[in-house]
Chains A and B, each alone.
Chain A
C-alpha cells in the first residue's frame, strides 16, 4: 500500500506559469520534506514542516513556497517556473527524530 503519494507523477508547465505539486501520506508522520533532484545530482532539501512549523533552507529560492493544511497533505507551489526548475520533486515523511525518511515516487516537472 502506498504510504507517501505524490500527484501528478509528471507535470508539464509553461515558463512563468504557476504550478502546484501535491503530496499526501498515510503514516501520520509529523515531519514532511520537499527535495529537488536535478538530473545526475543529489536530492537537495528545499524546506520541511514539523507539524505546522515551516522551515525554509537558506538557499531555497523565493519562487518556491509550501503549504501544509493538515497532517496528511503538503503542497509545493512554484510561482513562476523557469527552465532551471525542471527536475524531479521528491516528498518525504518522517516520524520520530533520526528515523527513516520515506519517499514518495516523485513528480517530474518539465518547463517549456
Chain B
C-alpha cells in the first residue's frame, strides 16, 4: 500500500527563521512529488512540485528530493505569520494516478 509519512507537528518557528518540513514515501514507483499548503477549512493550494533528484527553488521555497532515500523536504526561508498552515506532502505515480497525501504538518510561525 502506498504511504506518505509526515510528522504532524505542530512545528513552531520564529518569524524570519527557516522552516523545514519533511516527508517520506513508500512507493518506489512514485515519480511526481508535491507540497500543498492548506489553511483551515480551505482546499489545498500548490506550493511546489518536484520530479527529479536535487533541489528546486521558487522564491522563499525550496523543495528537495532524494529518490534513493525516498525522502522529500520543503524549506521556507524568511518565514512569515501568513505561512502558518498545514503543509501536505503528496506523491503520484505515472499515468492518471491520483495523489497519495501525507497527513500534513501543522506549521506555526510565531511573530
| Chain A residues within CB distance 8 Å of chain B | 30-31, 33, 35, 40-45, 48, 50, 55, 57, 88, 90, 92, 94, 97-98, 100-106, 108
Among B42, B43, B46, B103, contact of A100 (Cβ-Cβ < 8 Å): B46
Asked if residues A50 and B96 are in contact (CB atoms below 8 Å), the reply is yes
| Chain B residues within CB distance 8 Å of chain A | 4, 31-32, 34, 36, 41-46, 49, 51, 88, 92, 94-96, 98-104
Asked if residues A103 and B43 are in contact (CB atoms below 8 Å), the reply is yes
In angstroms, Cα B36 to Cα A35, docked, is 15
Asked if residues B96 and A55 are in contact (CB atoms below 8 Å), the reply is yes
In angstroms, Cα B59 to Cα A14, docked, is 46
Q: How far is the CB of B51 from chain A (nearest CB, A)?
A: 7
Among B4, B98, B104, contact of A33 (Cβ-Cβ < 8 Å): B98
Asked if residues A97 and B96 are in contact (CB atoms below 8 Å), the reply is yes
Q: How far is the CB of A88 from chain B (nearest CB, A)?
A: 8
In angstroms, Cα B87 to Cα A42, docked, is 10
Question: Which chain B residue shows the least CB distance to A44?
Answer: B101
